[in-house]
Amino acid sequence: MIKYPPTLSIYPFWQRLSLGTLKVILAGVLICIAGAFLALWQPAYVRVGTLQEEKAHWQDVRRKGITQPNTIIPTMDQLPHMIELCRNAFADAGVDVVSLNVERFGERREAGKGARIDYALVNLRLLGQWPGIVTSLAALEKMQGISIHVQEAVLSEAGGEAILQIYYCTGE
């Protein structure tokens, strides 16, 4: 009876690998681990930095007290004046407000007493140059004393339309 050498399949996989192959596999695994660490470490490190800045800000506020004066939120009665301020901002940039529609006004009905923040949607049809419209919209959002958010702006050849959210205080 002739004995043949055993086939490679009876040896475990790790015994069939050479030392060089094991080194390459180990190096590949270490590179993958290092890459995953660096990819996951960067967002966490940025977040830690942001949290440290925020912590320093709030410690400074706690030490110094409130740094900003109390702002007075415009009331519902002042909404026509705020809309007129919007029209004036466009007029200052050479843009004509052709039509103005208040699409939503005071529809937030919540139970309870006290002051609540609500908003009105104002649709403006504009006639003028695009740069004037864009600068007016940016100026409205940066305006102090009132809170105006540009919800939508659609520009056309002749001008465009803009939907503004104007926030105000309701209730007591």
pLDDT for res 40: 83
The pTM score is 0.55
Contact between 73 and 168 under an 8 Å Cβ cutoff? The reply is yes
Q: Cα 166 to the chain's mean position, in Å?
A: 19
Largest pairwise CA distance in the chain: 110
Half-sphere exposure of 43 (CA within 13 A, CB side): 3
pLDDT (tens digit, 9 = 90+) per residue, 51-87?
898 898 888 878 887 655 555 778 888 889 999 999 9
Kindly give the pairing relationship between strand 147-155 and strand 159-170. Answer: antiparallel
- Residue ranges in the chain whose pLDDT is less than 70: 1-15, 66-71, 106-114, 171-172
Nearest-angstrom CA–CA distance, 152 and 135: 15
pLDDT for res 32: 94
* Residues whose CB falls within 8 Å of the CB of residue 130, separated by 6 or more in sequence, listed in order: 155, 160
